[in-house]
Amino acid sequence: MSAIIVASTRQDEAIATEINQFIAHYPPLVHDRRTVQVQVHAGEVSVSGNVLSPSTAEYLLHHVQEMSGVKSVETEHLVDDQHLRLNIARMLPPGVMIAMLRQGQVVLTGELPPQTDLTGLLAAIGALPGVRQVVNGFGG
Protein backbone atom coordinates (compact mmCIF):
# COMPACT_ATOMS: atom_id res chain seq x y z
CA MET A 1 0.00 0.00 0.00
CA SER A 2 1.37 3.38 -0.92
CA ALA A 3 0.84 6.46 1.16
CA ILE A 4 0.30 9.94 -0.13
CA ILE A 5 2.80 12.34 1.31
CA VAL A 6 1.73 15.96 1.44
CA ALA A 7 4.52 18.45 1.89
CA SER A 8 3.40 21.11 4.26
CA THR A 9 4.49 24.68 3.80
CA ARG A 10 4.13 27.36 6.37
CA GLN A 11 1.37 29.85 5.68
CA ASP A 12 2.45 33.33 4.55
CA GLU A 13 0.35 34.94 7.25
CA ALA A 14 2.22 32.98 9.96
CA ILE A 15 5.57 34.05 8.50
CA ALA A 16 4.50 37.71 8.35
CA THR A 17 3.23 37.54 11.93
CA GLU A 18 6.52 36.10 13.17
CA ILE A 19 8.52 38.78 11.36
CA ASN A 20 6.31 41.59 12.69
CA GLN A 21 6.58 40.20 16.24
CA PHE A 22 10.36 40.08 15.89
CA ILE A 23 10.40 43.71 14.71
CA ALA A 24 8.12 44.75 17.59
CA HIS A 25 10.26 43.06 20.26
CA TYR A 26 13.89 43.26 19.08
CA PRO A 27 15.12 46.45 20.82
CA PRO A 28 16.97 48.08 17.89
CA LEU A 29 13.96 47.52 15.61
CA VAL A 30 11.29 48.67 18.06
CA HIS A 31 11.83 52.29 16.97
CA ASP A 32 11.56 51.26 13.30
CA ARG A 33 8.37 49.19 13.55
CA ARG A 34 6.15 51.93 12.12
CA THR A 35 8.41 52.51 9.13
CA VAL A 36 9.09 48.90 8.11
CA GLN A 37 6.63 47.00 5.92
CA VAL A 38 6.63 43.24 5.40
CA GLN A 39 4.90 41.32 2.64
CA VAL A 40 4.98 37.55 2.18
CA HIS A 41 3.85 35.65 -0.89
CA ALA A 42 4.48 31.91 -1.27
CA GLY A 43 7.30 32.08 1.28
CA GLU A 44 9.02 34.96 -0.52
CA VAL A 45 9.45 37.88 1.84
CA SER A 46 9.75 41.52 0.83
CA VAL A 47 10.90 43.98 3.47
CA SER A 48 10.74 47.71 2.72
CA GLY A 49 10.83 50.99 4.58
CA ASN A 50 13.30 52.73 6.85
CA VAL A 51 15.59 51.62 9.66
CA LEU A 52 18.07 53.66 11.65
CA SER A 53 21.27 51.71 10.98
CA PRO A 54 22.79 49.29 8.47
CA SER A 55 23.58 46.80 11.23
CA THR A 56 19.90 46.67 12.18
CA ALA A 57 18.97 46.03 8.54
CA GLU A 58 21.58 43.26 8.28
CA TYR A 59 20.40 41.60 11.49
CA LEU A 60 16.78 41.74 10.35
CA LEU A 61 17.70 40.19 6.99
CA HIS A 62 19.72 37.41 8.64
CA HIS A 63 16.99 36.63 11.17
CA VAL A 64 14.23 36.53 8.54
CA GLN A 65 16.28 34.25 6.27
CA GLU A 66 16.52 31.74 9.12
CA MET A 67 12.76 31.57 9.76
CA SER A 68 10.86 28.44 8.91
CA GLY A 69 9.08 28.60 5.56
CA VAL A 70 11.02 31.57 4.19
CA LYS A 71 12.28 30.84 0.68
CA SER A 72 13.83 34.20 -0.12
CA VAL A 73 14.10 37.72 1.26
CA GLU A 74 14.13 40.86 -0.86
CA THR A 75 15.30 44.07 0.82
CA GLU A 76 15.93 46.32 -2.18
CA HIS A 77 13.53 48.91 -0.76
CA LEU A 78 14.81 48.77 2.83
CA VAL A 79 16.84 51.93 3.51
CA ASP A 80 18.96 52.80 6.53
CA ASP A 81 19.52 56.36 7.66
CA GLN A 82 23.32 56.16 7.51
CA HIS A 83 23.37 55.35 3.79
CA LEU A 84 20.57 57.82 3.15
CA ARG A 85 22.56 60.57 4.89
CA LEU A 86 25.51 59.94 2.55
CA ASN A 87 23.28 60.01 -0.54
CA ILE A 88 21.69 63.30 0.55
CA ALA A 89 25.03 64.89 1.49
CA ARG A 90 26.31 64.34 -2.06
CA MET A 91 23.47 66.52 -3.36
CA LEU A 92 23.87 69.46 -0.99
CA PRO A 93 25.46 72.73 -2.09
CA PRO A 94 28.11 74.28 0.20
CA GLY A 95 26.56 75.78 3.32
CA VAL A 96 23.52 73.50 3.37
CA MET A 97 23.41 70.89 6.14
CA ILE A 98 21.24 68.05 7.29
CA ALA A 99 19.88 69.30 10.60
CA MET A 100 18.02 66.07 11.29
CA LEU A 101 17.49 62.74 9.60
CA ARG A 102 15.44 59.99 11.19
CA GLN A 103 13.70 57.12 9.44
CA GLY A 104 13.57 58.96 6.14
CA GLN A 105 12.42 62.31 7.51
CA VAL A 106 14.94 65.01 6.57
CA VAL A 107 15.32 68.57 7.84
CA LEU A 108 17.70 70.83 5.93
CA THR A 109 19.23 74.01 7.31
CA GLY A 110 22.28 76.22 6.94
CA GLU A 111 23.20 79.02 4.60
CA LEU A 112 21.54 78.65 1.23
CA PRO A 113 23.90 79.84 -1.54
CA PRO A 114 22.56 82.59 -3.83
CA GLN A 115 20.81 81.37 -6.98
CA THR A 116 20.14 77.98 -5.39
CA ASP A 117 16.89 76.47 -6.62
CA LEU A 118 15.52 75.50 -3.20
CA THR A 119 12.34 74.00 -4.66
CA GLY A 120 14.38 71.85 -7.04
CA LEU A 121 16.78 70.79 -4.29
CA LEU A 122 13.94 69.78 -1.97
CA ALA A 123 12.24 67.87 -4.80
CA ALA A 124 15.45 66.05 -5.79
CA ILE A 125 16.12 64.97 -2.21
CA GLY A 126 12.47 63.99 -1.79
CA ALA A 127 12.79 61.71 -4.83
CA LEU A 128 15.61 59.66 -3.28
CA PRO A 129 14.61 56.12 -2.31
CA GLY A 130 13.92 56.04 1.41
CA VAL A 131 13.13 59.73 1.85
CA ARG A 132 9.65 60.03 3.33
CA GLN A 133 9.58 63.78 3.98
CA VAL A 134 11.84 66.79 3.41
CA VAL A 135 11.43 69.85 5.61
CA ASN A 136 12.74 73.29 4.68
CA GLY A 137 14.52 74.50 7.81
CA PHE A 138 15.88 77.68 6.21
CA GLY A 139 13.14 79.91 7.58
CA GLY A 140 12.01 83.01 5.74
Write the pLDDT tens digit of every residue in 97-134.
Answer: 999 999 999 999 999 999 999 999 999 999 999 999 99
Q: Amino acid identity of 104?
A: G
Q: Does residue 129 belong to any structural domain of this protein? A: yes
Distance CA 26, CA 76 (A): 22
In the chain, % of residues over pLDDT 90: 84
Q: Does residue 105 belong to any structural domain of this protein? A: yes
Q: Does residue 5 belong to any structural domain of this protein? A: no
Tens of pLDDT, residue by residue over 72-100, are 999 999 999 999 999 999 999 999 999 99
Whole-model pTM: value is 0.81
Structural domain containing residue 129: 81-136
The total number of structural domains in the chain stands at 2
Distance CA 37, CA 133 (A): 17
Q: At what angle do helices 12-25 and 54-65 cross, to 10 degrees?
A: 140
